[in-house]
């Protein structure tokens, strides 16, 4: 059985899922992204106040008024809403990791990409305890989106599995701070 190694593991970008985060060439602590978010009120003014400009009414050729200046009186007393706010859901953060496959076995002999069966993403809550495995079944796939909740740290590495059944040592271990 031949022994081989992954050349390198690189964290490409970290972003909030569904929030349009931009990709980056450097590792980002996801907490700094969350800290930069601001609570956006429903209004367009400062301090959460809604503002609107009163428009001038204009008569149209058919005699109607498309921007009426008439005030509408609301004589209804304000009512309390019985609706509760939706429960708080914590955003899932994503770190996109990519790797470069090995071209050589440890003994120096050439390893072709056809000899790679698949990859294993190994991860855990400690660098010395990568006890969880996610199988990447496509040998040509060289990236993976790792998702976690905020305020967590996961340690991640990649292993290569050859068509002969051999499994490489883990790549360099990367700490993902969400």
Q: In this predicted structure, which of 83-92, 118-127, 145-154 has the lowest mean pLDDT?
A: 83-92
Per-domain boundaries in the chain: 8-35+88-177
The full 3-state SS of 20-42, as one line of letters, equals: CCCCCCCCCCHHHHHHHCCCCCC
Q: Name the percent of the chain lying above pLDDT 70.
A: 52
If pLDDT is split at 50, 70 and 90, which confidence band does 12 have?
A: very low
Average pLDDT, whole number, for the chain?
68
pLDDT of residue 36: 35
pTM: 0.53
Tokens of 21: 């985060």
Q: In this predicted structure, which of 62-76, 78-92, 102-116, 142-156 has the lowest mean pLDDT?
A: 62-76
Indicate the burial class of 97 (C-beta count within 10 angstroms; 0-12, 13-18, 19 or more).
Answer: buried
If pLDDT is split at 50, 70 and 90, which confidence band does 17 have?
A: very low
Tokens of 140: 């040509």
Q: Name the percent of the chain lying above pLDDT 90.
A: 28
If pLDDT is split at 50, 70 and 90, which confidence band does 133 have?
A: very high
Fold classification of 8-35+88-177 is Immunoglobulin-like (2.60.40)
Mean pLDDT of 140-159: 91
pLDDT of residue 39: 32
pLDDT of residue 173: 95
CB atoms within 10 A of CB 175: 11
pLDDT of residue 102: 79
């Amino acid at each position: 059985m031949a022994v081989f190694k992954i050349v390198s593991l690189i964290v490409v970008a970290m972003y909030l899922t569904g929030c349009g985060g931009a990709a980056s060439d450097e590792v980002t602590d996801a907490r700094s992204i969350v800290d930069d978010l601001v609570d956006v009120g429903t209004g367009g003014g400062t301090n959460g106040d809604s503002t609107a400009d009163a428009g001038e009414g204009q008569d149209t050729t058919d005699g109607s008024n498309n921007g009426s200046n008439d005030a509408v009186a609301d004589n209804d007393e304000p009512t309390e809403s019985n609706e509760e706010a939706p429960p708080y859901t914590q955003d899932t953060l994503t770190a996109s990791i990519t790797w470069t496959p090995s071209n050589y076995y440890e003994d120096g002999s050439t390893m072709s990409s056809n000899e790679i069966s698949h990859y294993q993403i190994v991860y855990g809550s400690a660098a010395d305890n990568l006890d969880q495995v996610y199988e990447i079944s496509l040998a040509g796939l060289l990236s993976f989106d790792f998702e976690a909740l905020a305020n967590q740290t996961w340690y991640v590495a990649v292993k290569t599995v050859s068509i002969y059944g051999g499994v490489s040592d883990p790549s360099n271990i990367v700490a993902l701070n969400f």
